Amino acid sequence: MMEVPDSPTAGAQAPDSPTAGAQAPDSPTAGAQAPDSPTAGAQAPDSPTAWAQARLDELEAKLAFAEDLIDTLNQTVVRQQGQIDSLQQQLRLLHQRLQDVLPDEARTPRDEIPPHY
């Protein structure tokens, strides 16, 4: 059932008033989240204890996701470091093979093929 105000202007404000749309501190929606907050759209808890518990639950969920992300990133770093180590070993082997195949004598500019014009 809808409550009727005691006076015709009770609760009414001019649309251009600086406090238009503002809630009184004892209003049931006082302390509601801003539209850009992560809990916007959720109903405001009835008591400070309930609000604190809801906030704690939200922080615990964020922490769990952050820990999972850190574990995933750590596994990626370990895997990539293994790949880097393997590639460095392959590079060393290829360099050694190249040194074994190339003659030990130094090349001179006379050995180079001149450019064609």
Tokens standing for residue 62: 């964020």
Half-sphere exposure of residue 15: CA atoms within 13 angstroms, side-chain side: 0
Q: How far apart are CA 53 and CA 55, in angstroms?
A: 5
CB 23 within 8 A of CB 42: no
- Whole-model pTM above 0.85? no
At CA 45, angle to CA 52 and CA 26, rounded to 5?
A: 110
Would you report the helix, strand and coil content of the chain in percent, each value rounded to 5?
50, 0, 50
Is the separation of the CB atoms in 30 and 24 below 8 Å?
yes
Query: pLDDT value at position 55?
Result: 96
Question: Where do the DSSP E strands lie in the chain?
Answer: none
Tens-digit pLDDT profile for residues 15-61: 444 444 444 444 444 444 544 555 544 555 579 999 999 999 999 99
Q: Among 1-10, 58-67, 90-99, where is mean pLDDT lowest? A: 1-10
